[in-house]
Structure 1
Amino acid sequence: MNRSSSRAAMAALSPVVLAGASLCVGAAHAAPATDAVVVAALDAVVVSANRTEQPITDVVADVTVVDREAIDRSGAASVAEVLARLPGVSIVTNGGAASTTSVFLRGAETRFTAVFVDGVRVDSQSTGGASWQGIPLAHIERIEVLRGPAAAVYGSDAVAGVVQLFTRQGEEGFFPSIHAGVGTHHTQDLSASLRGGQGTVDYSLGLATERSDGFNAKPTGNPDRDGYRSHSVSGRLGWKPATGHQLNLTFLDSRQKGRYDGFTPGQDDQTVQELRTLGLNWAARWSEVWSTRVGLSRGTERYETQPSPYETETQVDSYWLRNEWKLGGHGFNLDLERREDHLTNLSTTPSLTRRSQNALALGYTLRAGAHTLQANARHDDDSEFGTHTTGSLAYGYDISPAWRATASAGTSFRAPTLYQRFSIYGIPTLEAETGRNVEAGLRWQSGQNKVGVVVYRNHVENLIDYLSGPGSCINGTGTYPGCYGNVGEALYRGITLTAATQVGAVNLSGSVDWMDPRNAITDKRLPRRARRQATLLADTRVGGWKLGGEVQAVGSRFDDAANRNELGGYTLFNLSASTEVARDWTLLARVNNLANKDYQTARGYATAGRTFYLGLTWAPR
């Protein structure tokens, strides 16, 4: 799609979402609608905003919640594809589901989003940020996305926001399930889970395997299929030794092997991606006023390429102690946290492979009538980097039972990775990337009918980039002359509009993003990020069938920093249908990219055309 047709698609879709917003305002007394992606009921509880359970009605931050039913309906093959349907999120893939994937939250780099799986931080001290392609979607029960900086709560990395992923949880009773599916490109998946509990113990165990022959991800390179194989297991064990006390053990182990086209024509390149998380959490409520949380966790990411000799592994150990006090509408929390990073990089081993960060964080919340206030401050002390202090202040005002206005400001930072500072391409004097964000929002909600608008501005300085070419660096001793340096400055500005309503028997929801992610020094748009994108979702029931449809439109982007190589915009149409074929048996059918649109998110790398999927689930209740 060229620029003119991309604008036409956006122009056609934006009024539909705007019309949905208008319908919402006029539908205050209509039957409640179910948002096709965002599942955030009035009594929903989220943890992303303040790192503890909090009613969504008390949250001032811009948060989206996605449940398992919405994940299944979406037809997504990966966590990143689920996120791409959400407001303010865009993705770039270098090929298929197992290829390198970038997630841009409000246009910010992948490394600026802090990622947790069951509260366990996952990160790479080589490339920076989580390896999205290695997170198995089959085990994810719920996703929370917080847009906006949260470093005052989470520390380093949360410059653009936070993504929390939760695996399946146990509950009272016994609930087994089995799912099998087949799809285009000889895709096959099989998963099984057991969830249950009795008395003081609950548990969950899940197994999943998936394979696909894939498609030719690089048409101008090797004429082969770039498929993948993955195997994963997850588990959760909960124990209540006494009233008010809860102990939880969680784990996830995933291994994925994929093929890709590298730099050598005809070479059968392969990747091995491993993700392991282990967490132990204890929550104690000593009284109506005072409670304590303790967390110990380890997140491990390993990435290897064959036959090219590259292997890197990052291990993040975290220790967290929180005390909370609630006095009427006032809430206080005191956090002590220690994070230890360990990097193993077999191809270019850094001179320093370990570091630690100790942090003290303070938080205050107030809920008084129509007013909500959240204030946070955090001080991080890095063993080899130094100290950094961040803060945030957010305020919400209930104008009426239906209308709410919010405003917030906060600072953030991302510490340079060990590889960026101490490898043969590193500069030990690199400074932290720092951000300053302000935003304001206005939301209307009556039942499940809602409209929201958020305006934001995030200015990031000391942006780290790789300087290539002879003479770029004093210590450019690597195979490719160059090094990392604090040479960039970025400005992420935008407006996000969301809406959901019900028209007859059809539930509608959607979002439109106008973004301006820009290099503040050159005034060029940042690579591979569109200025406009929109999503429209619809679902309904016809007889015994649940039917869903989706339109996703993304504007044109530039593939390079100089803004010379343009990638055309694209519009995707996806359909889904499910029905109960027998007691406890559910059939799901999906068609993605119905129009078989040929498009690219990274120049030279193909994306999947029209794909079909058919799945059968057995889940007795």
Structure 2
Amino acid sequence: MSSYPVFTRSAVAIAIASLTLSAVAQESTAPTSPEQIAGPADPIVVTATRIPTRYNKLISDVTVVDQEQIRDYSPAEPISDVLANTPGVTVRSNGGLGTATNVQIRGGTNAQTILLIDGLRLNSATTGAPPWAYIPMPQIGRMEVVRGPTSSSYGSDAIGGVVQLFTRKGEGPTKFYADAGYGTYNTTSQNVGVEGSQDGFSYSVYGSNTHSVSFPTKISNASDYNPNPASYTNTSASGNFAYTVYPGQEIGVKALWGNGQNGFTNSKTQMATSLESLNVLSAYTKNRIVEDWTSLIRFGSSQDNSRSWYANNSQTVFNTTQKQAQWQNDLKLPVGNAMLAYEFLNQAVNSTTAYNVTSRNINTVQGGWNADIGNHLLQANLRNDDNSQFGNATTTSLGYGYFILPTVRGTASWGTGFQAPTFNQLYYPGSGGLYKGNANLQPTRSENTEAGLRYNDGVHSAGVIYYYNNITNLVNYTNNYATYTNVGRSIIQGVTTSYDGRVLGLNVMGSVDYQNPQNADAGTWLAYHPQGFGSLTIEKAVTDWKLGAQMQVQGPQQTAPGTSYNTTLGGYSLFNLYGNVKLYKDVSLFARLNNIFDKQYQTIQNYTTPGSNVFVGLRFDNR
């Protein structure tokens, strides 16, 4: 644990942020009202309140990643690489492409982050984890990251936050897209797509394929090291079709499909193969009933399927199907906007493991209200989830914001969250008396308080957010790993500072996080939680070319604090370069160089990470 107190680290972070706020305020001409801040600096955000809301009127801590930023990464990279460079997020993986990946928001576990694809959940009901390694980057047109407990809007698992990915939607005349590239580890990628709209009908269809022969997943001095490289293949497609019957009345279908395969180290002499497939399919109708009442009805299904083959010809299968139905009503009130919704979720498991229970239903009712009154911002949410396994869970959130200046707003919020036990924790049959599930488990609970100060003048955007999250009733192993019980408690507090703007003709984006993640029962640091981390991106973009440099920094991590086998994984700094140049009309050359100084580091003990690597390709894009 660090010898520096949390207060000192927080004070330093706040001082840096304050200096940044002061500096950017002096460099720009400040708007006279928040409404004058528009365009890219003030995008419309859906995930934070479930009602389309201007970014500058949000109380929640949110990052929006647009299509242009996503394209700065190679199409062969996992979507988690984008998340690793957003504020408040750390990413760990068991090797290269296609290996198990953990995304932690504000110190929450991988299973305490909700992944939404076009409004539908996608995750494993057995582990609770989303399939981050197989989300196809080329199919995603936009990303919204909401930090902090959002169970009062999205239910179970949103203790750390929510990531929502939106597939591409066509607008305007027909446009075509294609790219192909090659890189280190014999990595190849090909993508094609078409999108557009006409006479009320919009369409978008994309397909992609990535293949790589990567590196062994275990480091060379691990006892179960296998020197064979790991293979990876991922084929994916997406479609988005909508028809406006007449103004205010829209129907549509959306789909995302992916199928991948990964070879990984299983033992000292053996390799294993894992096949992962995912799909998200939904149909919706959005209707303006009257001028102040809009209704959205959505039906859909998502699947996260995993099958592994081992050298002894044994197989394991863990398939999750989630059937989902949503009816949301957005109402314009004399004061503010309200949201009333009903949701139904059925989670079903099909596995080679003999679970005693293989499905559960969750019925949900919820309401939300947010208002913009003069200089004041107000938000309130209330949600009740009725789970067929453990009964009701009610969550609440309250938020307040105030525009100190047209460009500066202070915010404060309080909210509760919960995480339902997974099927593994509840019903896993165990092997040799170990890891047996406990059907009497109750949800993990959280209570989060935060306060922030944000600056946005349309050119510069900066912020500092302090949060304190008390997580109780954690599910842990007890009795020498024989079963699970609700015994744990952790406290995660921290400060996130961020900046996004233009300085001396350069686009600059960066963030620094300081965290104090404590196991409150044992008085130790939480495993795999760095004290500090951050990123910085600087780029120059003109009409025909763009060149960017990126730095990602993470502090040391403890693998098993408080035990005799605890190991400290050293901190690291990674440096990347990316860019593109137009060759002729809609044809451009793009390239990305990751880890240019070939830093050797680990995010999970004994598992390798990519060395210096490059990816180069040609792109045709008339969108």
TM-score, scaled relative to structure 2: 0.91
Check conservation: 1:589, 1:613, Cα contact below 8 A: yes
What is the CA–CA distance in structure 2 between the aligned matches of 1:338 and 1:577, rounded to whole Å?
A: 45
Q: 1:403-443 deviations in whole A, cap 9, x for unaligned?
A: 10000000111111223212212111001001100100001
Check conservation: 1:14, 1:534, Cα contact below 8 A: no
How far did residue 91 of structure 1 move?
Answer: 0.6
What is the CA–CA distance in structure 2 between the aligned matches of 1:501 and 1:193, rounded to whole Å?
A: 31
Report the counterpart of residue 36 of structure 1 in structure 2. Answer: none
Change (3 A) 1:542 1:335: closer
Report the counterpart of residue 303 of structure 2 in structure 1. Answer: 300
1:408 equivalent to 2:408? Answer no
SS in 1 for 2:550: strand
Counterpart code for 2:320 = T
Counterpart code for 2:546 = K
1:236 pairs with 236, 240, 244, which one?
A: 240
79-88 or 498-507: bigger deviation: 498-507
SS in 2 for 1:296: strand
How far did residue 538 of structure 1 move?
Answer: 0.4
Check conservation: 2:383, 2:396, Cα contact below 8 A: yes
Report the counterpart of residue 344 of structure 1 in structure 2. Answer: 350
What is the CA–CA distance in structure 1 between the aligned matches of 2:443 and 2:373, rounded to whole Å?
A: 37
1:435 pairs with 422, 446, 449, which one?
A: 446
Report the counterpart of residue 370 of structure 2 in structure 1. Answer: 365
Report the counterpart of residue 130 of structure 1 in structure 2. Answer: 130
Report the counterpart of residue 577 of structure 1 in structure 2. Answer: 579
How far did residue 30 of structure 1 move?
Answer: 9.5
Counterpart code for 1:391 = T
What is the CA–CA distance in structure 2 between the aligned matches of 1:269 and 1:212, rounded to whole Å?
A: 16
What is the CA–CA distance in structure 1 between the aligned matches of 2:98 and 2:254, rounded to whole Å?
A: 25
Change (3 A) 1:377 1:15: closer
Gap runs ≥5 in structure 1: 4-11, 32-38, 473-481
Change (3 A) 1:85 1:433: same
Change (3 A) 1:208 1:13: farther
1:588 equivalent to 2:593? Answer no
Check conservation: 2:42, 2:458, Cα contact below 8 A: no
Check conservation: 1:24, 1:499, Cα contact below 8 A: no
Change (3 A) 1:468 1:278: farther
2:283 pairs with 261, 280, 283, which one?
A: 280
Check conservation: 1:188, 1:211, Cα contact below 8 A: yes
What is the CA–CA distance in structure 2 between the aligned matches of 1:40 and 1:505, rounded to whole Å?
A: 19
What is the CA–CA distance in structure 2 between the aligned matches of 1:486 and 1:374, rounded to whole Å?
A: 32
What is the CA–CA distance in structure 2 between the aligned matches of 1:418 and 1:582, rounded to whole Å?
A: 54
Report the counterpart of residue 7 of structure 1 in structure 2. Answer: none
What is the CA–CA distance in structure 1 between the aligned matches of 2:81 and 2:479, rounded to whole Å?
A: 32
Change (3 A) 1:602 1:233: same
What is the CA–CA distance in structure 2 between the aligned matches of 1:18 and 1:443, rounded to whole Å?
A: 10
What is the CA–CA distance in structure 2 between the aligned matches of 1:23 and 1:30, rounded to whole Å?
A: 12
1:105 equivalent to 2:105? Answer yes
What is the CA–CA distance in structure 2 between the aligned matches of 1:488 and 1:584, rounded to whole Å?
A: 56
Counterpart code for 1:523 = G
Q: 1:207-244 deviations in whole A, cap 9, x for unaligned?
A: 10000011122133000111201111110110111221
Check conservation: 1:277, 1:298, Cα contact below 8 A: yes
- C-alpha root-mean-square deviation of aligned residues, in Å? 2.2
What is the CA–CA distance in structure 1 between the aligned matches of 2:269 and 2:423, rounded to whole Å?
A: 34
What is the CA–CA distance in structure 1 between the aligned matches of 2:533 and 2:349, rounded to whole Å?
A: 37
Q: After TM superposition, list the pairs within 5 Å mapping 1:65-464 onto structure 2.
A: 65-75=64-74, 77-220=77-220, 221-262=225-266, 264-307=267-310, 308-346=314-352, 348-424=353-429, 425-464=436-475
What is the CA–CA distance in structure 1 between the aligned matches of 2:364 and 2:545, rounded to whole Å?
A: 52
What is the CA–CA distance in structure 2 between the aligned matches of 1:436 and 1:268, rounded to whole Å?
A: 43
Counterpart code for 1:618 = F
SS in 1 for 2:82: helix
Which structure exhibits the higher relative contact order, with contacts defined as CA atoms closer than 8 Å and separated by 6 or more residues? 1
What is the CA–CA distance in structure 2 between the aligned matches of 1:292 and 1:391, rounded to whole Å?
A: 23
Change (3 A) 1:95 1:46: same
1:567 equivalent to 2:569? Answer yes
How far did residue 384 of structure 1 move?
Answer: 2.3
Check conservation: 2:41, 2:461, Cα contact below 8 A: no
What is the CA–CA distance in structure 2 between the aligned matches of 1:15 and 1:53, rounded to whole Å?
A: 33
Aligned residues: 592
Q: After TM superposition, list the pairs within 5 Å mapping 1:481-492 onto structure 2.
A: 482-492=482-492
17-26 or 574-583: bigger deviation: 17-26
Counterpart code for 2:125 = Q
Report the counterpart of residue 600 of structure 1 in structure 2. Answer: 602
What is the CA–CA distance in structure 2 between the aligned matches of 1:257 and 1:483, rounded to whole Å?
A: 32
Counterpart code for 2:273 = Q
SS in 2 for 1:522: coil
Counterpart code for 2:50 = R
What is the CA–CA distance in structure 1 between the aligned matches of 2:67 and 2:570, rounded to whole Å?
A: 32
What is the CA–CA distance in structure 2 between the aligned matches of 1:618 and 1:163, rounded to whole Å?
A: 29
1:51 equivalent to 2:50? Answer yes
SS in 2 for 1:240: strand
Change (3 A) 1:200 1:388: same
Counterpart code for 1:407 = A
What is the CA–CA distance in structure 2 between the aligned matches of 1:118 and 1:410, rounded to whole Å?
A: 24
Question: Alignment identity in percent?
Answer: 33
What is the CA–CA distance in structure 1 between the aligned matches of 2:523 and 2:165, rounded to whole Å?
A: 35
How far did residue 17 of structure 1 move?
Answer: 8.0
Q: After TM superposition, list the pairs within 5 Å mapping 1:548-563 onto structure 2.
A: 548-562=548-562
Counterpart code for 1:300 = Q
Check conservation: 1:17, 1:512, Cα contact below 8 A: no
Change (3 A) 1:532 1:611: same
Check conservation: 2:492, 2:516, Cα contact below 8 A: yes
82-91 or 445-454: bigger deviation: 445-454
What is the CA–CA distance in structure 2 between the aligned matches of 1:503 and 1:446, rounded to whole Å?
A: 14
TM-score, scaled relative to structure 1: 0.92
What is the CA–CA distance in structure 2 between the aligned matches of 1:162 and 1:114, rounded to whole Å?
A: 5
Counterpart code for 1:171 = E
Counterpart code for 1:176 = F
How far did residue 15 of structure 1 move?
Answer: 10
Check conservation: 1:13, 1:534, Cα contact below 8 A: no
What is the CA–CA distance in structure 2 between the aligned matches of 1:428 and 1:40, rounded to whole Å?
A: 51
Counterpart code for 1:385 = F
